[in-house]
A and B are shown apart, each in its own frame.
Chain A
Amino acid sequence: MTIKATDTTVILQEGTLRHTLLEKPEFPDYSNVTAMPHFTYYYTEGETIWDRLSLNMTRFVDFCRDDLYLGCYALILRRLYPLLLSDNRAKNLAAYGADTDCMAYRVIQDFMTFLHKGNALTALALSPFSLTAVSPGSCTAMLYRLDACPAPAAVCDAINRIKPGGLLLLYTIKQALPAELTALCTQAQKDNFGSCTLYTLTVDDALMDFARANGSESFILLRAAEITRRVNDLQNLIQAMLAGAALPGDAYFIAVTILQQTEEILLSLYDYLEDDGLPVRANALKESVLNYYVGVCRQCDLTSYREKLTQFSEIFFDAVGKEFPQ
């Protein structure tokens, strides 16, 4: 794949496939421009915006020649171009999913700085915390590599960081979208070339409502409530087991099922847990319930099993209480 820039066009090319990314506007759009710095370049003797854009497009090829996402970067810069030129205010962009030293970021940053010294592109570390650490509604656009983190909650977190009217640029080299994101992406403007696809979404009220409802904050609160409910049920069941109460035959299966569900929910929250040992503690409690059950079935002396069940349940319930205080 390569990118060719002329005085009038920027073309993405791979074998016989050609895709015109941009054509130089004959009459630049003045309507949104309120102050000068970049605009003068069109008419001064120095480098024009078009020259710089062309240069940066070809720099993608120089710096990211072996990068499978090369086409995505070109498509991204094409979509960013009108946004960056739309007014003369400094813009704050963020990027998530690629390595923080990704060369494509440097190329985009160079073009942004050329337009306005205050423009910034911040590369976020690949951790869900880095998304939630960005102030809500603070970015003009977010570049998001879908293949690195296809979780819907993370995509929604990214949307929540974007200003109304800003852009979410989801890019991928995979053919299939994660099922949970299909509906979202059908609303997007889709550009693709070769294996590279870019979905561009403009953040409006409806999208923000969707993101708020499905972001990690809402996800965590919902999941925390589910855990608390299950743990309350479990505490009663395990107390009854330890007290030697007559229990229905399926009581142990119910306890194990609840613990298995709890373990799965905890694992789904894994990146957000303060105590990352919680899932394995849930498993240890499940193991001691099962050992106790086997002991009951085999009519063994239950002393050791009871001790382990007591010990592991105390450890687990204490840890849950600290992680999810009520």
Chain B
Amino acid sequence: MNKYKMCMIPAYPLENVQLLKDRVILPYVCYRAFGESLRLVTKSTGDYPYLSYLEGAELIPLPEDQSHMEEAVRYVSAHSEEIDLLFLFGARGEYMELAAAYRAARPDGLIYMKLDANIDWANAFPLYDNDFSAMLQSCDVISCEARHLQALLYKKWQRPVEYIPNGVYYPLYPEAETARYEEKENIILTVGRLGTAQKNTLLLLYAYALSFAELKEPWELVMIGSVTPEFQADYDDFCKRFPPLAPHIRLTGNIADKQALYQYYKRAKIFALTSRLEGGSPNVFSEAAIFGCTVITTGVDAADDMTDFGRVGRIVPDTEDFEGFSRALVSLCNNPDYLAHNFHDMRAYMREFFDYERLAERLHVLLELQSLKRRPS
């Protein structure tokens, strides 16, 4: 099969931390699997120390003269011959001119768009706009991160949209190999921006309180992440109202040190996700899952995908259902056999269906088939 000269251009200038997120990691894994080269083309936002994790990838800083996207269009027009495969991240209006410029210069080139959308965003796509529709049509492969969303997009767009979840690049997580169920503790873990409307953190706090009396063994609740002032006040109030529970709940604050964070994943048996909205499965889900945490989640778009339709986790569909979330927590915490067995099932499921190296191979075949269509006959 072909080796591709690849180029990833973000809609907005890349920041260092984004180098290890899906928008860059998937192109990078594709480059490792079937690429000749990979260029990350962006206006600079500072230093990029994480580039050292992406051996072989080249960061091309755009000039500062004009806007990021104007410079990106100029770059693609000038270097189209050096780009066989263009990666776009998000169905964003900013990409319309870029996609058109690349398509005009390289009718035989390939465009892959990873949508990074949730259902609300997908419903707001301006399909009535001819330029926006043309951008979607110019893409050879479009993928979304949740099956629910995929089904919706088939109805809205009536074109193929692949399901490629937010995955895991295992070489970035060597510690996950050493996780053992025997070393896990009775910890319910959550990681995120605590107290934001999106993360819906109060649901977990009060569901834990509701379940506390029914747990056969003591369980700790550990909440990692930056805390909004509103949630801090709610938490303080909660501790005053329920003094016996307070010692069992810990807010660690943000943990920037990845190794320290992984230790929590290693120790926790259950990972809780209470979001009202997520575009695909969040990174923290993948991280928790490869460390063998059983996941309990609200009915976000990717809930079925994260839990294999409830096989390797639990779904509480309603994001405001405190009692339902509490019942699901109790049933998990009081079922050590399931948690022990699911440690292996979850890890196997992740390896089989969320491993970016395998997903990239699947994408490779799809791109090859599209490339046959693009070749001049």
Seen from chain A, the residues whose Cβ lies within 8 Å of a Cβ on chain B are: 252-253, 256-257, 260, 263-264, 267, 270, 276-277, 279-280, 283-284, 287, 290-291, 293-295, 297-298, 300, 304-305
Contact = CB atoms under 8 A, between A and B. Distances in A.
Nearest to A271: B158
A294 B361 contact: yes
Given A260-B369, A267-B159, A294 B358 contact: yes
B369 A270 contact: no
Nearest to B151: A280
Contact of B349 (A277, A284, A294, A304): A304
A292 to B, nearest CB: 10
A279 B362 contact: no
A263 B160 contact: yes
B154 A279 contact: yes
B358 A283 contact: no
Nearest to A280: B154
Nearest to A305: B352
B158 A304 contact: no
Contacts, number: 59
B365 interface: yes
Contact of A290 (B147, B151, B349, B365): B365
B353 interface: yes
A280 B155 CA distance: 9
A75 B365 CA distance: 52
A28 B352 CA distance: 81
Contacts of B352: 291, 295, 300, 304-305
A253 B365 contact: yes
Interface of B: 147, 150-151, 154-155, 158-163, 348-349, 352-353, 358, 361-362, 365-366, 369
A25 B151 CA distance: 60
Task: Give the top 9 A-B pairs by smallest Cβ distance, nearest first.
Answer: A290-B362, A280-B154, A294-B361, A304-B352, A294-B358, A270-B158, A280-B151, A267-B158, A279-B154
Contacts of A297: 361
B201 to A, nearest CB: 33
Given A276-B155, A290-B365, A300-B352, A260 B358 contact: no
A260 B162 CA distance: 11
Nearest to A252: B365
B154 A256 contact: no
B358 A267 contact: no
A104 B195 CA distance: 55
B358 to A, nearest CB: 5
A265 to B, nearest CB: 12
Contacts of B147: 284
A42 B160 CA distance: 60
Contacts of B162: 283, 287
25 contacts: A253-B365, A256-B366, A260-B369, A264-B160, A267-B159, A267-B160, A277-B154, A279-B154, A280-B150, A280-B154, A283-B162, A284-B147, A284-B163, A287-B162, A290-B362, A290-B366, A291-B352, A291-B358, A294-B361, A295-B352, A298-B361, A300-B352, A304-B349, A304-B352, A305-B352
A256 B370 CA distance: 12
B42 to A, nearest CB: 31
A252 B366 CA distance: 12
Contacts of B369: 253, 256-257, 260
Given A276-B155, A279-B154, A304-B349, A256 B163 contact: no
Contacts of A283: 150, 154, 160-163
Contacts of A253: 365, 369
Nearest to B349: A304
Given A291-B362, A297-B361, A277 B151 contact: yes
Given A257-B369, A295-B358, A304-B352, 12 more contacts: A263-B160, A276-B155, A277-B151, A279-B158, A279-B160, A287-B163, A290-B362, A291-B362, A294-B358, A294-B361, A295-B352, A298-B358
A252 B147 CA distance: 23
A298 B360 CA distance: 13
Given A264-B160, A267-B159, A300-B352, A256 B151 contact: no
A87 B352 CA distance: 74
Contacts of B353: 291, 304
Contacts of A276: 154-155
B204 to A, nearest CB: 30
A304 B151 contact: no
B16 to A, nearest CB: 31
B365 to A, nearest CB: 6
A153 B369 CA distance: 28
A284 B305 CA distance: 13
A264 B160 CA distance: 8
Contacts of B158: 267, 270, 279
Contacts of A293: 365
A257 B370 CA distance: 10
A283 B163 CA distance: 9
B96 to A, nearest CB: 21
B348 A304 contact: yes
B362 A287 contact: yes
B360 to A, nearest CB: 9
Contacts of A270: 158
A305 B355 CA distance: 14
Nearest to A276: B155
B144 to A, nearest CB: 11
